[in-house]
Amino acid sequence: MRLLLIAAGGLLFSAGAVGHLVVRMKIKPRDPELDEMYHEFEDAHPEVVRYDRWTRLTLGAAGVGMLLLFLGLVF
């Protein structure tokens, strides 16, 4: 059980970390006008919504991976 938690946690953390780097470099909107827009209107822009969704997903995967690694080391 311990080995399974460590292996799954390591894979999930690695995938989440690499995915987060890819999202930050490739999917981040490059339009300079988006930075100047008022905050309420930024959330409605499709590029920003996609970027936020993928950022949350990859950070969540890395967080769950870290939790699994911790549980594998403790138990």
pLDDT tens track for 60-69 = 999 999 999 9
Residue 21 has a pLDDT of 97
- Enumerate helices (H) and strands (E) in the chain, giving the number of each: 4, 0
Distance, in Å, from the CA atom of 69 to the CA atom of 47, rounded to the nearest integer, reads: 33
Q: Which two tokens stand for residue 66?
A: 């870290």
Find where tokens 């890819």 sit: 22
Residues of the domain holding 69: 2-74
pLDDT tens track for 5-49 = 999 999 999 999 999 999 999 988 887 676 666 565 656 778 888
pTM of the model: 0.82
3-state helix, strand, coil in the chain (%, to 5): 85, 0, 15
The count of structural domains within the chain is 1
